[in-house]
Amino acid sequence: MSTSALGNPAEAVVYGIPNCDTVKKARAWLAERGVPYRFHDFKKQGVPPEHLARWQAAAGWDKVLNRQGTTWRKLPPEAQAAVTDAASAAALLQREPSAIKRPVVEWPGGAISVGFAPGDWAARIG
């Protein structure tokens, strides 16, 4: 699929990192079901701040922040302790996009999901 984050609003936009196992599973799941989507690579294209704010508003900053991942675990304890609210989480996630729980999907119609949940996704695509 295309890597552009702009285009047809009837397509889902999948945000993530291409070598992430969860993102690979999610993209394969969508492809197997013929669901059109565009892929936005955090590493190459960055994280659009206005999208990050939308994700935090929809899912909660604590869900968007992946505290289980390698990026978070490698942060110094003082950097981890400094993340206490949406603003501090957003600042960290702009600097360290790999600390975002993946994938984030902007679904047609404006819904947002964080992480790969096949049951939830099946309900979303009908």
39-87 pLDDT tens trace: 999 989 999 999 999 999 999 999 999 999 999 999 999 999 999 999 9
CATH code of the domain occupying 12-125: 3.40.30.10
**Phi, psi dihedral angles at 41 (to 5 degrees):** -90, 110
Confidence of residue 9 (pLDDT cuts 50, 70, 90): low
Closest to 101 in 3D by CA, of 68, 61, 53, 66: 66
Asked if residue 1 has pLDDT above 60, the reply is: no
Note the pTM of the prediction, 2 decimals: 0.89
Catalytic residue among 12, 13, 14, 20: 20
Q: Catalytic annotation on 118?
A: no
Q: Which residue has tokens 């936005």?
A: 40
